[in-house]
Amino acid sequence: MSSIPPAPLDAAQLALAAAPFGSSRMLPRAAYLSDDVLAWEREHLFSGWMCLGRSAEIKPGGLRAESVGDYGVLLTRDPEGELRAFENACRHRGHELLPCGGSSDAKAIVCPYHAWSYRHDGSLIGAPHFKEVEKFDKSTLGLKSVRVQEWHGWVFVDRTGAAEDFTSYIGELEGIVAPYDAGTLVTAETHTYEVAANWKVIVENYQECYHCSMIHPELCRVSPPTSGENVELPGNWVGGWMDLRQGAETMSLDGRSGGVAMARLDEHELSTVMYVAVLPNLLISLHPDYVMTHQLVPLSPGTTRITCSWAFPADVAAAEGFSPAYAVDFWDLTNRQDWSACESVQRGMAAPHYEAGPLAPDEDGVYHFVSKMARAYQGS
Ligand code: FES
């Protein structure tokens, strides 16, 4: 029996969203608009394994703080390279140790409020004016640690410490991502967007190309919108692949690559792009020559911060004259087309009589996500 309580949503509407494909409906309107639902998601979805960003952002001897919406996590890497994660809260009176989004290469973590100091392993070094205080036991006042895992260059944390084993969380996605050697890729560019849409609207949009012929003319020139297939395999993710048109090397405005195809890809991987949503908040787009990721942080029911990054093989990124613009320009344009549609969906769903609609036969990828969410909301 699961100990997760049901989300504050209508049970009959959730049952419809979880019904077999072909007869199901989208999630109820409140799933996208309600503060109470977001609070439930933060407690039960965004508290187990979730992505915090790229591990290369935390250099040996470095610190970085990341916000995950309603709280912060402090990541540290000691000079030997070991990554650790802690709650970004001082053990004295809770001040954040680093502002979220900030980095430092300081040798010790010093709280900016009253200067308690900590090592990279979270242990307390000292607290001003406590020398004479009886029963002050430094060994009990280390930072609260958070379970952390590096996976192909991404950092994941599990705040609860009780989420399933990371290997089963990722499941069969391991074999799909491994040939791209994503852990060795170098991020060449990052864009941050704040989108006025619920985080699930963005995942749903990513899971289908039913909309592509309407809003993505540039994408349709390099990838047939009805091509490919969605897959259902073990792991807490959903996804599928789409073809590149004959003669197209990658997703770019002219279909040409400004880089080099990755060394270990097979024929299928060289002629397709794999789109994966690792739940709850990481979208990975595996191209023959680069990997793009979108990391989502819900800021409110109707607002999501999206960090999009483009990573390339290290020798390609370091080559003289290399520019990531061929990939970045294409996807920045496509992203903005998507965000505009997602924001319109969010506004449309606010209409008082909006009801969840049915899914088209091409939207099986959306169904995989929506039905997973419906089951999670049911407390199963
Ligand atoms: Fe950090 Fe006081 S809150 S030293």
What DSSP line would sit under 32-68, residue for residue? HH-HHHHHHHHHHTTTSEEEEEEGGGS-TT-EEEEE-
**Binding site membership of 90 for ligand 1 (Cβ less than 6 Å):** yes
Choice from 88, 96, 114 to test ligand 1 binding pocket (greatest atom count within 8 A of CB): 114
Q: Tell me the average pLDDT of the chain.
A: 96
Average pLDDT over residues 279-306: 97
Residue nearest to atom 3 of ligand 1 (CA): 93
**Binding site membership of 111 for ligand 1 (Cβ less than 6 Å):** yes
Pair 180, 278 in one domain: yes
Is 2 inside any structural domain?
no
Per cent of the chain over pLDDT 90 is 95
- The answer to whether 331 and 325 are in contact (CB under 8 A) is no
Least confident of 6-15, 129-138, 262-271: 129-138
Is 3 inside any structural domain?
no
Whether residue 257 has pLDDT greater than 80: yes
Is 191 inside any structural domain?
yes
Is 4 inside any structural domain?
no
Using pLDDT thresholds of 50, 70 and 90, give the confidence band for residue 127: very high
Pair 241, 354 in one domain: yes
Q: Is the peptide bond before 352 cis (omega within 30 degrees of 0)?
A: no
Whether residue 380 has pLDDT greater than 80: no
pLDDT computed for residue 225 by the predictor:
95
Give the domain-ending residue among 127, 162, 197. 162
Order the strands of the 124-126 sheet from edge to edge.
Answer: 109-110, 117-118, 124-126
Whether residue 332 has pLDDT greater than 60: yes
Q: What is the CA radius of gyration of the chain?
A: 22
Pair 40, 53 in one domain: no
Q: Which two tokens stand for residue 196?
A: 């006025």
Domain with residue 146: its CATH number is: 2.102.10.10
Pair 192, 326 in one domain: yes
Pair 26, 66 in one domain: no
Number of domains, the chain? 2
Using pLDDT thresholds of 50, 70 and 90, give the confidence band for residue 67: confident
**Binding site membership of 113 for ligand 1 (Cβ less than 6 Å):** yes
Whether residue 1 has pLDDT greater than 60: no
Pair 238, 344 in one domain: yes
pLDDT computed for residue 258 by the predictor:
97
Using pLDDT thresholds of 50, 70 and 90, give the confidence band for residue 129: very high
Is 245 inside any structural domain?
yes
Measured in Å, residue 148 CA sits from the centre of ligand 1 at 24
Pair 82, 142 in one domain: yes
pLDDT computed for residue 265 by the predictor:
97
Q: Which two tokens stand for residue 353?
A: 């009589």
Average pLDDT over residues 81-90: 96
Pair 214, 73 in one domain: no
Measured in Å, residue 109 CA sits from the centre of ligand 1 at 11
Choice from 87, 90, 138 to test ligand 1 binding pocket (greatest atom count within 8 A of CB): 90
Task: Return the C-alpha torsion angle 98, 102, 103, 104, nearest 10.
Answer: -50
Domain with residue 179: its CATH number is: 3.90.380.10
Pair 154, 297 in one domain: no
Is 1 inside any structural domain?
no
Residue type, 211: H
Phi, psi of 341 (to 5 degrees): -65, -45
Residue type, 125: I
Please give the Cα distance from 188 to 118 (Å, whole number). Answer: 33
Measured in Å, residue 43 CA sits from the centre of ligand 1 at 26
Measured in Å, residue 142 CA sits from the centre of ligand 1 at 13
Which residue range(s) make up the domain with 97? 49-162
The Cα-based distances of 40 to 6, 13, 187, 197 in angstroms read: 9, 17, 33, 18
Choice from 111, 136, 143 to test ligand 1 binding pocket (greatest atom count within 8 A of CB): 111
Is 362 inside any structural domain?
yes
Using pLDDT thresholds of 50, 70 and 90, give the confidence band for residue 179: very high
Please give the Cα distance from 58 to 76 (Å, whole number). Answer: 7
- Locate all alpha helices (DSSP H) within 94-172, ordered by sequence: 166-170
pLDDT computed for residue 290 by the predictor:
98
Pair 96, 138 in one domain: yes
**Binding site membership of 93 for ligand 1 (Cβ less than 6 Å):** yes
